[in-house]
């Protein structure tokens, strides 16, 4: 006999919403190639499967299927951990993975001890739901829920405090969406306190808003791993800066003197090429910053980005931007090699920045972001 209830209908509706969000995020990833969206799509897929198993388990009052729900709930936390780590660090944090593995392993072992773990909870009117008995699984589930909630809250709080002023409101909305997700998750699975259809509403509001913000504002996902400060393009022979862009606030104190900085970088590049003959410099690490250097063979230009950290995304984007810049300003570069340097010709380079660095928060609001990210897709492919 199938245990049809309003709870089951609500859970099926929530599952449908999660599958829709999964396909929305997946299609956005295919279009933009942002890796955080790939992880987010896996997260939504695991949430959808966990919801589906939770629904089926309560429809048939099956402890076995409910134990499978526990497994996929653990996988949901795993993808949440990966998503947070990628946004915050661009790599997986080992201690957190060990903590997840311990909690997940203990939960799965406890989940298949049906007799001592699960029980049927009866609501008014003879409605049954599978619940946990007091014991190890209840404690472990509570700890895993706190771990999951802490990950989401840590991520959105950190983004909120890191973003520039013009993204504060957006990041605040993302924080509110996260709180809605946490409330929905804890009260649904931990306490069975949310009434039918309110759960679905909270899912749409929380997960839907979070999806919108990370797709619409990719800067949020690249805010924490690094802060990109400056871009400089130097003519190697003269050491002259022909173009520079500052992603910081307009009233921020410049961290470099153009003349000294360009002379230092071109000098180091020339010295190492002449003495060691091991190729060009790619990175210079300082205590509080990293200089990413890029140049093409036979090009008189040296491209430099100053960032707080090195990043694969940033390195790929710089490499592709270098290629596009050299193609876009071929005539100007040929004149430069003849000794004619006119910086004004390179001011149009600002129009290219939005194509290759759409993920960098622009405090100056001067960069035009392309709608289809076509050039950024090319940059990811060329940067491989």
Question: Which residue from 274, 377, 382 is spatially nearest to 29, judged by alpha carbons?
Answer: 377
Distance CA 231, CA 95 (A): 35
Question: Which residue from 44, 21, 36 is spatially nearest to 82, judged by alpha carbons?
Answer: 36
Asked if 250 contacts 356 with a C-beta cutoff of 8 angstroms, the reply is no
Distance CA 153, CA 244 (A): 37
- Helix axis angle, 312-328 relative to 374-382, nearest 10°? 110
pLDDT tens column, 136-164: 777 888 888 889 989 999 988 988 887 77
Distance CA 328, CA 243 (A): 14
Asked if 59 contacts 78 with a C-beta cutoff of 8 angstroms, the reply is no
The reply to whether CATH 1.10.3470 applies to domain 6-222 is no
Distance CA 4, CA 196 (A): 13
Asked if 268 contacts 281 with a C-beta cutoff of 8 angstroms, the reply is yes
| Domain ranges for the chain | 6-222, 228-382
pLDDT tens column, 209-257: 888 988 888 777 776 656 777 888 888 777 788 888 887 654 444 455 5
pLDDT tens for the chain, 384 residues: list them. 676 777 778 788 888 989 999 999 999 999 877 888 999 999 999 999 998 998 888 888 888 888 898 899 899 999 999 999 888 877 788 999 999 999 999 988 888 887 777 776 666 566 667 676 667 777 888 888 889 989 999 988 988 887 777 788 888 988 998 888 888 766 665 555 555 567 677 778 888 888 898 888 877 777 665 677 788 888 877 778 888 888 765 444 445 556 666 666 666 666 656 555 556 677 777 777 788 888 887 788 888 888 877 777 788 888 889 999 988 888 888 888 777 777 888 888 888 887 788 777 665 444 444 433 444 334 444 444
pTM of the model as a whole: 0.72
Class of domain 228-382: alpha beta
């Amino acid at each position: 006999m199938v245990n049809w209830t309003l709870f089951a209908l609500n859970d099926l509706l929530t599952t449908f919403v999660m599958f829709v969000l999964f396909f929305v995020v997946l299609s956005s990833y295919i279009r933009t190639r942002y890796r955080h969206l790939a992880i987010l799509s896996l997260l939504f897929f695991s949430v959808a499967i966990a919801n589906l198993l939770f629904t089926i388990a309560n429809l048939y009052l099956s402890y076995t299927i409910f134990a499978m729900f526990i497994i996929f709930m653990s996988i949901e936390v795993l993808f949440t951990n990966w998503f947070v780590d990628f946004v915050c660090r661009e790599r997986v944090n080992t201690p957190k993975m060990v903590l997840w593995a311990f909690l997940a392993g203990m939960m799965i072992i406890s989940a298949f001890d049906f007799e001592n773990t699960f029980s049927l909870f009866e609501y008014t009117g003879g409605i049954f739901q599978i619940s946990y008995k007091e014991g190890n699984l209840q404690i472990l589930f509570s700890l895993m829920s706190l771990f999951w909630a802490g990950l989401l809250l840590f991520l959105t709080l950190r983004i909120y405090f890191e973003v520039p002023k013009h993204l504060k409101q957006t990041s605040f909305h993302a924080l509110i969406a996260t709180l809605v997700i946490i409330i929905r998750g804890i009260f649904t699975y931990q306490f069975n306190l949310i009434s039918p259809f309110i759960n679905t509403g909270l899912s749409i509001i929380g997960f839907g808003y979070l999806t919108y913000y990370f797709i619409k504002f990719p800067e949020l996902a690249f805010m924490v791993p690094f802060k990109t400060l400056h871009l400089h393009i130097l003519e190697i022979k003269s050491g002259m800066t022909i173009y520079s862009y500052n992603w910081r606030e307009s009233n921020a104190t410049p961290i470099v003197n153009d003349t000294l900085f360009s002379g230092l970088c071109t000098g180091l590049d020339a010295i190492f090429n002449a003495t060691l003959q091991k190729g060009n410099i790619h990175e210079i690490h300082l205590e509080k910053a990293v200089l990413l250097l890029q140049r093409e063979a036979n090009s008189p230009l040296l491209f430099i980005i100053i960032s707080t950290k090195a990043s694969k995304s940033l390195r790929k984007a710089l490499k592709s931007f270098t290629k596009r810049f050299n193609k876009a300003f071929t005539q100007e570069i040929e004149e430069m090699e003849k000794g004619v340097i006119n910086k004004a010709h390179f001011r149009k380079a600002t129009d290219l920045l939005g194509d290759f660095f759409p993920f960098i928060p622009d405090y100056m609001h001067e960069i035009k972001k392309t709608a289809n990210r076509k050039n950024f897709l090319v940059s990811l492919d060329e940067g491989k």
